[in-house]
Structure formats: C-alpha cells, structure tokens
Amino acid sequence: MLPTMKPQAVIRQLPSAERLNALIELSGAIASEHRLPELFQRLSHLLRQVVEFDGVYVSLYETETDVMRLHLLELGMLAAVQTGSAFPSGRVPGGLVMESQQPLVVDELDDEKRFPLGFDLFRIHGLHSACLVPLTSAHHRLGVLGFASVKPRHFKAKDVEFIQLVARQVAVAVDNALSYGRIEELKSRLEREKLYLEEEIQTEHDFKEIIGQSAAVRRMLKSVEMVAGFNSTVLIRGETGTGKELIARAIHDSSSRRDRTFVKLNCAAVPAGLVESELFGHERGAFTGAIAQRIGRFELANQGTLFLDEVGDIPLEIQPKLLRVLQDQNLERLGSNRTIHSNARLVAATSRNLEKMVADREFRQDLYYRLSVFPINLPSLRERREDIPLLVRHFVQKCSARMNRHIRSIPARTMEALVAWHWPGNVRELENFVERAVILSTNSVLEAPLGELRNLDSAAGGGSAVEYATRDLILKTLRESNWVIGGPAGAAARLGMKRTSLQSKMKQLGVARPKP
C-alpha cells in the first residue's frame, strides 16, 4: 500500500527512504496490469500519492502514422481534452522529449512559444507549468509522461529526478502491456484467420492448377509471374467464368505473402448498404443491427492479399474511402475514429467496362487509375479453343473421381462439338456441362447432352457453333496479321482464302476492324 499524503505535499518533502519505498510500491502495484486501459486507470490513482499535479497524461508514439496518441490518466484541468486524440509528433512537445530523450521543464507556459499545438491545450485550461519526461524501456522509445500544474515554476530539479525514476517504472509497465496487447491481437488474428480459412475450405472450388497450353494462357501466366513479386495493385479483367479468382490466387501463391491470408470479397454479392462494413469493419452499435464488433476484410488481409471480385459494383459513395486505403493504407471502422493500418495487397477483378463507367460517372477516374496499375486481361474460352480438350479431360477426371464413375473415353464427335461451341459462360460453363455429362453417362464412354448446345443456339436466335468458331478464327488471324487482308502475309493467305472471299465472309459475320 502506497503512503497516504496530503494533496499539498510536494515531492521534495519526501525522505529518501520513503521515495524508494514509494517507487517499490508503485512498481509492484502496476506490474500485474497487462492491459493499457486498466494500467492507466491504476496509474491515475497511484501517481497522485507520490507527485503533486493538476493534470497528468501519457502520450504514446505510433511509428506507422508518426503521431503521439494522448492517454489521460488524471483529467483535472484537462477535462475538455479528448482521450485518444492524436497529434503530429513534430508539432507537440512530447515529440521533442521522445526524440532527445531529455526531460522538458517549462516554468511558465505563457513564455513558451515553440509548441502552440501542445501547450495551448494546457494554457486554455489554466495550467502554468509542466514537466515532460521520456517513457523509454530497454528496447523501445514509447512516448512521454507529462505532469502539469496551475502553479508557475512548480517542478524543481529534484522533483524532475524523482519523476524520471517514476517514469522508468511506468515505462516497463507500459511496454509489458503493449507487448501483451500485441500477443493478444496476434492470437485473435490467428483465430480469425483460422475461422476464415475453415469457411473457405468448405466453400472453395478445388482448383489445383491453371489448365492450358495456348499462347493466350502462356501470356497470362507470364504477366502473373512478372507482377507477383511486387506489391503493386493488379486489375484482372475478363468475362464471367474465365477464372479471375484462380489468377488472383496464383498471384498470391507466387508472392512473398503466400504464407499469409488470402481474403476475398465478391462486391456484387454484398448489398450496397453493407459494402463499407464488409471492407472496413464496424464497431458495436455503429448502425442498426451492429450488435458486435466486426473485423473488415482489409484488416483481416493485413500482410496478405485482398481479392475484390467485381470491383465495378462498389457503390460510388464508398469509392473515395477505398481510394484512401490504397493510397496511405489507413482506415477506420464504422463507428470509430481510431486509425488502423493495413498492409494488404489488393488484387481486383471485373467483368464490366470500367472505362465506360468512368465516362458515365459511375466509377471514379482516380480510383480506376489506382486499381489498374498492372492490368491482366484474361482470354475468353473462345480465344483459346486449343485448351478445350485439356480442360474437358481434366473436368471429366475430376468429376468422375468425385462421383465414383469410371469414364475412360470421350467420343471424337463430342470433343469436336465442345471445341466448336462458343461457351458464353467460359470455363465455368464448360465445367458445369462436363459434370452434367458425367452424371448422364451410364458406362465408360462420356455421354454428353450435345442437343442442349443446339437448343441454346436456336433459343438465342444466333448463328451456329460453327459460325461462332469461324468468326473467332478470322478475328484471331486478322489480329496476327495486324489486320492486313491481302498479300502473301495477309489474313486471306493464312486462311487459304481469296481476299474477296474473306471480305465477303467478314461482312456476313459482322467482323470489322476496331476503331483506334
């Protein structure tokens, strides 16, 4: 139990033995407090028994944001100042004390002009003198411990010596509490990641590798290899079903973040009113229905990768907040003014025309530029038909194993039809079709319902699968010849056609050179 003292007693009147006992009692009393709020609450009572003051505070330095965060221990004359307020370290006296590791004593605050942002808060509350000492543990510069008094010249040299001894004990307790908090946060984070990954395992498709050997796939994988080692934002563009998430996972798995969490969010699947909460999290009571604190995807993906699918569906009013996180990696949960740092690498994907959305003012131009630092365009299945046989065999094997079927062969007629079909749903549609075929197969030969493809053509009122294949082949050849039709290196020669025949076919199929 610390010695009880009258409020008017000052430090220099304490005998040396009592000072030593006071330090021992103070150290023992705060050593068992492992959480900062409880530690500061205890200190607010204990410090008054050994130091006379009208206001006392701890200001902790946050390296990520270069600010001093205020924690009031005893309100006193500082009752109007908000606990948790943050100030740039270079504009407050605490920053100087922490940097110099020397105490700062101000006999009369009215005469001190160096730090208006800090000392003005003291002066407007009737305080006249102050003593700030560094809080430093064996390994860290933590911040400062500050005392203030309504009396001028209140803190003498011997008082400062004793306050420094007090600060050393406080620093040890604060450092322990911060370390305990980091351990608790790490444990909590691991629990959240474990729960998230367990949910992912239950719902995720079992993609083992990217299937394909076409030039388009090789170009795509080259892009993945080039960008994976950097932290740059990636924008994956492609039609629905082309495997955008698979490419995002490939980027993550090839990066230095592979051992951290891969977090995903389909922006099109979340109601517009909940997108902000999903991205940044919320505090309890932040809005109707917020009955508990929720960790946002950015915070969960710290040090890992966040995959935002269908990023074009993010509401316009949320886009400035997303841009801010991408620019300075800082965010606030809904209902909180506490800044949280998130070093998450963003990989976004879209099947929409973002350029048109920007022109129509449906998507912010600055966010578009920030997202598309490194774009990767995924080819449709129509643009890599040579990969279809590989994909069909892969899906047949995968579905057969899952359903305990024994499909050993695929008829040539079936494979030709699958290669010729234009697959508007791309790889996802192909996989679903193969799964249906495996279910319908009664023996070792794949029995594909090819009539469904013909019916789809008729229902759509479009051309046949052969026409789709012909159109894609012509387009591919024209691009390879740089849209030169005639001549020995032109598209007509490559296709074995007359120039006039190719032009007629292009008109029939609606093929035209895109405008520059």
Q: What is the pLDDT of residues 212-242, one digit of tens each?
A: 888 888 899 999 999 999 999 999 999 999 9
Q: Which amino acid is at 390?
A: L
The whole-angstrom separation of Cα 43 and Cα 30 is 7
pLDDT of residue 11: 46
Fold adopted by 381-509: Helicase, Ruva Protein; domain 3 (1.10.8)
At the second CATH level, the architecture of 212-377 is: 3-Layer(aba) Sandwich (3.40)
DSSP state of 143: E
pLDDT of residue 170: 84
pLDDT of residue 459: 47
Q: How far is CA 327 from the centre of its chain?
A: 12
pTM: 0.57
pLDDT of residue 509: 73
Which two structure tokens, joined as six digits, stand for 154?
């209140």
CATH 3.30.450.40 maps onto the chain at 11-180
Exposed/middle/buried for residue 81 (C-beta within 10 Å: 0-12, 13-18, 19+): middle
3-class state of residue 278 by DSSP: helix
Beta pairing class for 345-350 and 305-309: parallel
How wide is the angle at C-alpha 325 spanned by C-alphas 266 and 283, nearest 5°?
Answer: 75
Fold adopted by 11-180: Beta-Lactamase (3.30.450)
CATH 3.40.50.300 maps onto the chain at 212-377
Which two structure tokens, joined as six digits, stand for 405?
């079927």
pLDDT of residue 236: 97
CATH 1.10.8.60 maps onto the chain at 381-509
The whole-angstrom separation of Cα 172 and Cα 175 is 5
Identify the H or E element spanning 479. Answer: helix 465-480
pLDDT of residue 290: 73
Which are the contacts of 253, defined by CB distance < 8 A and separation ≥ 6? none
pLDDT, tens only, 471-486: 777 877 887 788 888 8
Q: What is the biggest distance separating any 2 CA atoms in the chain, rounded to whole angstroms?
A: 110
Candidates 268, 249, 241, 232; CA nearest to 375 is 232
Cβ pair 70, 57 in contact under 8 A: yes
Candidates 335, 410, 320; CA nearest to 368 is 320
Which two structure tokens, joined as six digits, stand for 182?
């980091």
Candidates 20, 42, 22; CA nearest to 31 is 42
Q: Which amino acid is at 223?
A: S
Cβ pair 349, 237 in contact under 8 A: yes
pLDDT of residue 134: 93
Q: Which residues in the chain show pLDDT less than 70? A: 1-34, 44-45, 72-83, 117-118, 121, 186, 188-209, 454-469, 514-516
Cβ pair 279, 318 in contact under 8 A: yes
